[in-house]
Amino acid sequence: RLGRLLRASGLADQRRDFQRASARFQLAQYKAEHEAMLRTPDYAGYQLLMLNDFTGQSEALVGVLDPFWEPKGIVSVADVRQWNQPVVPLARFARYVWRTTDTFTAAIEVAQYGPADLPDAVGSWRLTRRDGTGLAAGTFPERRLPTGSITVIGEIRVPLDGLTEATALRLEVSVAGSANSWPLWAYPPSTGEEDPATVVIRPAYDATAREVLASGGKVLLLAHGLTNRFTARTGFASVYWSGGWWGNRFSSLGILCDPAHPALREFPNDGHSDWQWHDLTQGATTFDLAGAPAGFRPIVQPVPDFHHCHLLAQIFETRVGPGRLLVVGYDLSGAPGPGPAAGHLRRCLLRYMVGPEFNPTTELPAEWLESRLEPEPPEARPGAN
């Protein structure tokens, strides 16, 4: 059934990419939720509704394992054992996304539910770039870890001012033979660089945008908040349980992108949703681009729930006559709130647009494109008088 739906929607070639991106995002969500429970004193435990895929009514393919209790080949036992074993190192930190002017701080704890006390547990930590090069490392004093308890073993403080560019980091902690790790990101502060004169930034697909494109110019359309029948305000988390019960055509399982795409080359990512995408995707405007020319792919594409299989987009580009248009559904307005990832992504996109690699190969049909970018009149919206 999934294959038929994907083929009918023209997305069959992305099946493996969708599987990988949604599985890695599922792991990030499970890990965060389970560790929050493990950090909570006197928490009585947890139970997963399903560890494997449910193949009954409206199919819920939510399992870390397939319907036969076998690994799917994307998330490993080692991935899950980081946070699901008798002794689990834990880290309390304020956020996953930092500025390079910050000092990263984390309190390190251990959830110990093994069969006996650990009298002389030794712990260590290190903060590295994703390529493995180290930023800082240290050890914790020997500690007794009583069974059935959560024990604070120390604190980490690392100034990030030695980083000069956007950097993906990893915090690793080992205690008593158990290890855990967390992804982090650090972004440089705004340098105050002015927006390039060769790119016109517009909040709507208005007369000014059309004139610039008609004259062969470049337009960055910041379409966050656009409302029409082809858009929806969407969030960070995956659809709950089954899109067959509670979903719609905008239901998604995180995002899919190519980390090597020149628009994202300076925005560290692994091609799927992770915590550096949270502030961007929470409340984002997502476009339904079903009906686009065959093979058209957005730069950032939400992974559709397979019950609907629509071509969705949060960043996409197209030629418009002699002009070039980049459409973004994230809040990159510069207003307080979106966080350092938003400001950095805006700079990345503008640098891409002024360079020679901003050269869309597809021209979306004019009327079709306008139907996706035209705001809906207030009187046409549900509930309008």
Using the 3D structure, point to which of 161, 187, 213 is the last residue of a domain. Answer: 187
Same domain, 224 and 153: no
Same domain, 173 and 268: no
The yes-or-no verdict on residue 212 having pLDDT over 60 is yes
pLDDT band at residue 50 using 50, 70 and 90 as cut-offs: confident
Q: How many domains does the chain divide into?
A: 2
pLDDT at 59: 78
pLDDT band at residue 293 using 50, 70 and 90 as cut-offs: very high
Range of the domain at 130: 87-187
pLDDT at 381: 47
Domain assignment of residue 309, yes or no: yes
The yes-or-no verdict on residue 131 having pLDDT over 60 is yes
CATH code at position 151: 2.60.40.10
pLDDT digits (tens, 9 = 90+) for 1-15: 677 888 888 899 999
Using the 3D structure, point to which of 187, 220, 237 is the last residue of a domain. Answer: 187
Q: How many other β-carbons are positioned within 10 Å of the β-carbon of residue 357? A: 11
The yes-or-no verdict on residue 204 having pLDDT over 50 is yes
Same domain, 256 and 361: yes
Q: Does an H or E element contain 385, and which? A: none
The yes-or-no verdict on residue 94 having pLDDT over 50 is yes
pLDDT digits (tens, 9 = 90+) for 51-89: 898 888 777 888 889 999 999 999 999 999 999 999 999
% residues pLDDT > 90 (the chain): 79
Same domain, 179 and 263: no
Using the 3D structure, point to which of 125, 156, 187 is the last residue of a domain. Answer: 187
Q: 3-state class of 370 per DSSP? A: helix
Q: Which two tokens stand for residue 243?
A: 């899109």
pTM (2 decimals)? 0.93
pLDDT at 383: 38
pLDDT at 357: 97
Domain assignment of residue 151, yes or no: yes
Q: 3-state class of 270 per DSSP? A: coil
pLDDT digits (tens, 9 = 90+) for 256-275: 999 999 999 999 999 999 99
Domain assignment of residue 332, yes or no: yes
Q: Which of 152-156, 217-221, 243-247 has the lowest mean pLDDT?
A: 243-247
Same domain, 204 and 353: yes
pLDDT digits (tens, 9 = 90+) for 141-153: 999 999 999 999 9
Burial class (CB in 10 A: 0-12, 13-18, 19+), 328: buried
